[in-house]
Structure 1
Amino acid sequence: MTTGRDRLRELLDAVLDENNTTLGAMAQGAFASPYHFSRQFARGTGESPVAMRRRVLLERAAWQLSGGAAVTEVAFAAGYESVEGFGRAYHRAFGHPPSATAADTRTRWLPAVNGIHFHPPMSLWVEGEPKGRHDMDPTSLLLHHDVADTRELLASATDLDDEQFRRRRSGDAVLSWDGPDDSIASVLNHLIRTKEVWLAAIAGADQPGRGGDDPAELARRFDAVAPRWLDAIREIDRRGGWDDTLIDALCEPPESFVLGSVVAHVLTYSAYRRLLVRRWITSETTGESTEHDNGDPIMWLRTRG
């Protein structure tokens, strides 16, 4: 028997409520603790509640600016305490300052792991899967599970102290050019950097710098790269480009890679690293109240419903 409740819809409503400007307020609006609210929301959407609210409000801001709204008004409506702070966030997201937003019909959606976007005047639009791709397609399932599972591991790592997080363990280099996978910190860093590097290669961008590897910085980097990674794969799938060849000038000497094999490569080593770091995190938290699953995509899929 069903109660008729749509729990994910309730969580989304709590995030987008104009009055819920903090994680605590969002959780209270959903009748949950901040911890369980964040966990439920991330499992259902693949994105943290704070990150989704920030992104959707920036998408709304772009729509408002394109209609002639004043930057100051839009900045405060989006929850920013200053126009300068809003301007910096807007420029990072869209690649240009708020004042340069054109009144045209270009998409103002930012990359999102879940296809959930702002829809005027204050609704949501859920982008469908590309034609020919279905949630139960194994590739789609593995891609989304990889992102959700990595996010879960990053959240679990915040329960560790610095000694546990950086403790050297018996781990070989999974890929020689990455360096050793011998600590929770190094494995999580490699999980994120792999996507950063391959995205740069696909986009023809410069080699990305090596970001920090403390838990907060790893989470920030992951929030930045995960939606771009899924967005790039959606675009490849839309145009049927899986057998396109990438000439990677970031390699020395340059090498060629078939795009389908690049995604298979990332998923293969990511799966191993996620299982490895999960085992290490579990060994550090055995007997504590922290919840851990076993990383099985079957169980992950069940929790999404």
Structure 2
Amino acid sequence: MEPTQLKNIHETLRREADKVLVGLEEPFEMLTIALLTGGHVLLEGVPGTAKTLMAKTLAQLVQANFNRIQFTPDLMPSDILGTSVFDMNSGQFYLKKGPIFTQILLADEINRAPAKTQSALLEAMEERQVNLEGTRYPLGMPFMVIATQNPIEYEGTYPLPEAQLDRFLFKVTVPYSDLETEIEVLRRYHNGFDAHDLAATGLTAKLPAESIAEARQAINQVVVEEGVLNYIAQVAAASRQSPDLTLGASTRAATHVLLSSKTFAALQGRDFVTPDDVKFVTPAVYRHRILLKPEAEIEGLNPDAVIRRLLGQVEVPR
């Protein structure tokens, strides 16, 4: 598979997704980049902004197995991973697999569950395996967690620890629709659109899950010049020295910028990364990894504003 083929696949995926999604081109593109990079995504937006619909649409387009978990304060790790059950007939224990044994997992309102339950996802997200009672169970390929959280309502929530946040390749914000987009959504529902029946929209698979490994091999061949590598590292270093931040980007964050930049370049039909590719993916990679100083927040800054400052400070390679 060549990058030009990936560009065609990417354009086809976007056209198909447009049958279901309205005004969500960039968030859906970030989901596609994450899937092909092999990363996980944290979607942040108020209820009713089509976060779940985006995840279901992606799963349908790549013919991937899809499970959804509604995170609640009383959710237990075994509700996610599964548990050993004794079989009276055979006299042996067997694993009753939990919903994590899938290819695309939607962790809905992930910050509603306590830290112990959230941590049940850690090994699965990083190692692509589940360890239960000393036995390792590999997860399918691809395996992707799409988690959602509400940025407004904090009552009864458990903020994700830094270790959990760092497992997500991207944090993608899903805003309210603009007026024209909202009118189009209303028009579609008026004409019979049903978000629970995607098959009725004519949505068809365009990238079988088994082809994702081949796509990733093509992405690995994308060339990154030394100057672009230095640029990625310099932006990360600038974040650690920023007067606006108490915590800058880690080496893992820089690695994630590199990998997702290669994917984005391939989806544009190129076999090389440009500084603009880096600029495109950096906000989604850094957004959940940097911590602002209180005085920066008082000034009205947010993570995206600080990231724009960082990208403006570092000289772009020619």
Structure in which a larger fraction of residues adopt helix: 1
User: Normalising to structure 1: TM-score of the pair?
Assistant: 0.32
Larger RCO, structures 1/2 (Cα 8 Å, 6+ apart): 2
Provide TM-score, normalisation by structure 2.
Answer: 0.31
